[in-house]
Each structure stands twice: as C-alpha cells, then as structure tokens.
Chains A and B, each alone.
Chain A
Amino acid sequence: MRTLRETWHWLIDPVHWAGDDGIGHRLAQHVLLTLGCLIISCVIALPVALVLGHLGSGGALAVNLSNAGRAVPTFAVLVLLLLTPMGRWGQGPTVAALVLFAVPPLLTNAYVGMRQVDRSVVRAARGMGMTGRQTLLRVELPLSLPMMVNGVRIAAVQLVATATIAALAGGGGLGRIITAGFNLASTPQVVAGALLVAVLALIVEGVFESVERLVPLRAGGSR
C-alpha cells in the first residue's frame, strides 16, 4: 500500500515530468522509436511477404523465422549490436534490434494471410483476365488484410517491449525511468516507470484492437 502511494506521488510530481530525463521526453522518445521502427519494419517485411505469398514460395522461411525470433533473447541481440562498430552510431543498435524483432511476426502473418485466401477466388480472378499484379493488389491484398493487421499489432506490442529493454543497453525511452530507478534503489520510481510502460503497451494493443474491428468492414464485411 505504501509503495502504491509513493508511486502515485512520484508520478504526479511535476519535477519528474520535465527535462531530458522527464516522463514527457522519455514518452516521446519511446513513441517515436516504436513508430519509426514499425514503419521501417513494415516497409521491409510486407512487400516481401506479399510477393512470397502471391508466388506461394518461401513459406518455410516465413514461418520458421518467427519461431527462431522467439528463441533469440532480445537483450542479447541488443548488447551484441552495441559491442559491434555499430554501437558508436547513437540509436543505431537499438533501431536495428527493434527492426530485427518486429520483422518476423509481420512477415509470418502477412504470408499466412496471403496463403489463406480462398484459391477458388484467386482462380476466378485469373479467369476474369486479371493479371498477376491485379490479382495481388485487388483480390489477395484486401482479403489478407485482417491477418496482416494482426501481424502489425503483434509487431507494435513487441516493439514497445523491445524499446523498453533497450534502456538496459543504454537506449532511450520509458525503460530509462525504470533502469534509473533501479540505480537509485528507488522502488516508487521503478514501479512508476513500469506502470507507464504497461499502460503504453495496453494502449497500443487497444488501438489495434479497434483497428482490427474496422478492417473487415473495408475488406467487404467478411470475417
């Protein structure tokens, strides 16, 4: 109970919101890092998944990549990248690690979504004289959209988590409030930082939950 009260006091103290180490700046860093890496990962993963899914090849790669991603500790990759020459480029290692862990769920979900499109619909599109590109963009893409958005959601939640761990390896973001709290042996600060991170992750999950509800409407109301 006392910790809760102290955490609350820590959170509402305006001193902790201002400045470079303040909650405001750290939150902005965290959101920017997550959003930027999400966009980079989507640009890398989605076209590859769409083309592979359209051609129907590389399925084993797309699925196994996701499993392999789970076995590799995020923290280890962050530290390994930090110790390479890349470590000198400021946020470089963090961005690289974040993208590395966001790509597998994006790739797997988009690929599976493409392959789950009813083959008879694809054949019908071909029968109507659609070219490969038209089939991909007008038939397969809209039908696989719900799965793809689900992949983006998993990646986004993963990115928020990985960006937090980045603080352990000297990166920015809300995780810094937690690690600084540990260094100061200040439990209220640790708990306050953790609460902020947890709430941010839940908000991201909630936003995508609503987006996922809207997507099927655009995709023709079928689900």
Chain B
Amino acid sequence: MPPDDCLARNEWICGAYLRTRRHILLDAVAQHLQLTAASVLIALVIAVPLALLARRWAGIAGPVLAVTTILYTVPSLAMFSLLLPLYGLSPTLVVAGLVLYSLTLLVRNILAGLRAVPEETRRAAHGMGYGPIRLLVTVELPLALPAAMAGLRIATVSAISLVTIGAIVGFGGLGNLIYAGMNTYFKAQVLTASVLCVLIAVAADLLLLGVQRLITPWARAARG
C-alpha cells in the first residue's frame, strides 16, 4: 500500500517534506547565501572607487551612470545568457551577472550620498586643516553612509531574488529547487523554496538596517 501522507497527496504545505529534505534545503540556502554575498561584496569593492572617481571628476560621472543604467536595463535571464561564452555553466557566471546589477544601485546611491554632503561642512573641515584624504574618510564617507546603506539594502534584496534565475545554468540556490519542483509538479518544494527566498531577503534587509543603525549612531540621536 502506498503511504498516504502530504508528500503522496502533493500538498502545498508539508511537514514531511521539511523533515525528509532538510539537507537539500540547507544546501540550497547555503548556495543562495554564498552567491548573494559574493556578488554584493564584489560589487561593493568596485562601486566605492567608481563612485569616488565619478565624484572627483564630473566628466566620468555621466558615462559611468549611463553604462550602469544600460546594464540594469538588460533583463536578468538575458544577462546570464550573454555571459555564457565568458564563464560557461559555472557559479562565476551567476556572480558576474549579479555584480553587474548591484553595481548600478550601489554606484548611484553612494554618489548621491557623497553629493548630498553640505558644502559648508566640507569647508568647515577644510578650515580645520583637514587634508583631502582625511576629509574623505572622516567627514564625507560617514555622511554618505545612510544613502550608501540604502543602496546596499536594495542591491542585496534584489540579488537574493535574482539568484533564483541562476537555475537556468544550475546554480540558482533555492531557484534550483523551484525549477526542479516545476518540472516534477512538486508543490511543497516550490512553495517551501519560494517562502525561504522571501524570508532570506527580509532577514538580510533587517540585518543591514541593524548594521546601519549601529554605524550611524548620530542619525538616531538626531531623530530621537
């Protein structure tokens, strides 16, 4: 006699699925987190110097923003596919695609944050004898932090959602489970993986919000 449980009945919510496929789910979540973290961190490392260059030389700002905007317009599935000849079916392909998306959001927000530093503040620091590097590190960058963190939060949440498209090359974290679940009509797997995706995105957003509160204590003092 075949077992009569929620797996056999193919129900949306299924405790037996969670119990029996725990390892598959954990592996998928781990891959999801690794792909997201790698791409957002690499994007951050590229975006900060780019934003600083664009801030320093106005001539660069236009082209940098134009190129990143064009990259952002390219749909994700097409982006991953265009990178196929360069990286083949590899996790690097997914990371490279996500880096290109995160770059737009990060460069824009960091640049906006740097531009929003009041001119008087900059002059006051000058008057106190701050050199250009000290001005940048101790005055401009901290003041640009709230805008930069807002960009980082959006980039991270978007990346977590876009990782799922990586399933087309077999490296999509939870997206792999959704893709496989679609082909086998496995409702519990699709719903569980989707919900986990959203939970990871919300958790990452809250975590970054917490970090932002911690590293910009003055913003809280001013509000309260």
* Interface, chain A (partner B; CB < 8 A): 3, 67, 70-77, 79-80, 82-83, 157, 160-161, 164-165, 167-169, 175, 178-179, 181-182, 187, 190-191, 193-195, 197-198, 201-202, 205
The minimal Cβ–Cβ distance linking A93 to chain B, given in whole angstroms, is 11
Given the complex of chains A and B, what is the CA–CA distance between A175 and B80 in angstroms?
A: 12
B77 A168 Cβ-Cβ under 8 A: yes
Residues of B within 8 A of A165 (CB): 75-77, 165
Q: A73-B162, A179-B168, A201-B73 are in contact. Are A164 and B181 (CB under 8 A)?
A: no
Asked whether B85 is an interface residue with its Cβ less than 8 Å from the other chain, the reply is yes
List residues of B whose CB falls within 8 A of some A CB: 70, 73-79, 81-82, 84-85, 154, 157-158, 160-162, 164-165, 167-169, 175, 178-179, 181-182, 185, 187, 190-191, 193-194, 197-198, 201-202, 205
The answer to whether A161 touches B161, judged by C-beta atoms less than 8 angstroms apart, is no
Which A residues lie within 8 Å of B85 (CB)? 3, 187, 191
User: How far apart sit A198 and B77, CA to CA, in the bound complex (Å)?
Assistant: 10
Are B197's CB and A193's CB within 8 A?
Answer: no
* Known A-B contacts A71-B160, A178-B81, A194-B81; A79 and B178 likewise in contact (beta carbons under 8 Å): yes
Instruction: Evaluate whether A191 and B82 lie within 8 angstroms (CB atoms) in the complex, with A75-B175, A160-B75, A161-B75 already known.
Output: yes
Query: Cα distance A77–B81 when bound, in Å?
Result: 21
- In the assembly, what is the distance between CA of A87 and CA of B37, in Å? 34
A contact residues around B161 at 8 Å (CB): 70-74
> Contact between A190 and B160 (Cβ–Cβ < 8 Å)?
no
A191: min CB distance to chain B, Å: 6
